[in-house]
A and B are shown apart, each in its own frame.
Chain A
Amino acid sequence: MNKNSFIQNFSDQFDESDDVEFTASTVFKDLDEWSSLIALSIIAMVDEEYDVALKGDDIRNATTIEDLFNVVQSKA
């Protein structure tokens, strides 16, 4: 599993954050655009791209994109 493509897939769920540079250490819940719809999009994206079923708690417990990447990698 490629971390950079995960970050790309993650950032693709955002529409209004063009000025944000998404990196492994981005604290995504601090982003202005972060919302419950984007959280659902992340869960659906991970299901579609990686065939991994994330739970709401996985998102809740993650701080950075890398945290979530690690969870997905561990379940893949």
Chain B
Amino acid sequence: MYNPFSLVGKTILVTGASSGIGRATAIECSKLGANVVINGRNAERLNDVFSLLDISVGQQHVSIISDLSTLEGVDNLIASMPIVNGLSSNAGVLSSHKPIKFLADDDFREIINVNTFSHVRLIRGLIKKKKLSKGGSIVLMSSTGGVKTNVIGNSIYDMSKAAINTFAKSCAVDFASKQIRCNSVCPGMIRTPMTEPTGTLSEEDYKEDIAKHYLTGRYGLPEEVARTVVFLLSDASSFITGASIMVDGGCSVIH
């Protein structure tokens, strides 16, 4: 059957795969026929995702527990993984909402380390150790935050996502000679464990935000982001590199 979106025959590394968008991406990649290497920090949740991966066309999956917020964790992942054709890089944390005058140095360190540096270290290592094959595709998880919109009290998170968004373009330039494409995906608000209302923002705040900012009248689902990642990993997007794709229910248009 004609299907340019198929990932059959490709091996894809999905980081941050134990939860949220990474989890949905790992599952969608497997359903499109990819062999998936899943990575995360939490063994129990990662095993749960592993059990949900599709194996109907003989896909071979691998699960590697490693903490990408450390250089050692990145090195460990790269040493234990096979050569891949694609990377979906998702490690990310949300910062607590704080006005700039209250930001602590630890806030920068944690957020920028996970949301920005962990991706940079991983890609550097993959290229250096030749673990990403020629003709491959990298998809970095950015956000509308910091790229199209800036929200009160969210400066560090927005900064970390703007940085990773521009790093995706730098990768597109640097790796063009290897025919490796690199793009970023910028989700608006997606309902995942990371964005569950926990403290400063309540379910009511979310309703107000949706009414004001989302043309779709709702927040997104992890699968809706995952399918965009699948597209960028597949040969259907072979002429797309250095792009940032908004998956945001229209929020960047009317924000």
Contacts and interface: CB of A to CB of B under 8 A. Distances in A.
Contacts of A45: 102
Interface of B: 97-99, 101-102, 152-153, 199-202, 205
Given A37-B152, A40-B153, A57 B202 contact: yes
Nearest to B153: A40
A24 B19 CA distance: 45
Classify the secondary structure of A's interface with B.
Answer: helix
A71 to B, nearest CB: 14
Contacts, number: 33
A55 B101 CA distance: 19
Contacts of B101: 41
A57 B205 CA distance: 10
Given A57-B202, A60-B202, A36 B152 contact: yes
A55 B102 CA distance: 16
Given A45-B102, A48-B102, A40 B200 contact: yes
Interface string A32-60: 00001100110111011000011111001
Contacts of B199: 53-56
Given A44-B102, A54-B199, A56-B205, 5 more contacts: A40-B99, A43-B200, A48-B102, A55-B199, A56-B199
A54 B201 CA distance: 11
A53 B200 CA distance: 9
Contacts of B102: 41, 44-45, 47-48
11 contacts: A36-B152, A37-B152, A40-B97, A40-B99, A41-B99, A41-B101, A44-B98, A44-B99, A55-B200, A56-B200, A60-B202
A41 B200 CA distance: 11
Given A37-B152, A37-B153, A40-B153, A56 B202 contact: yes
Nearest to B198: A55
A36 B102 CA distance: 15
Contacts of A53: 199
B127 to A, nearest CB: 40
Contacts of A41: 99, 101-102
B98 A40 contact: yes
B97, B99, B101, B201 interface centre (most CB from chain A within 10 Å): B99
A37 B202 CA distance: 15
Nearest to B200: A56
Nearest to A43: B200
Interface string A57-70: 10010000000000
B202 to A, nearest CB: 5
B27 to A, nearest CB: 33
Contacts of B201: 56
Contacts of B153: 37, 40
Contacts of B202: 55-57, 60
A15 to B, nearest CB: 11
A4 to B, nearest CB: 22
A48 B97 CA distance: 13
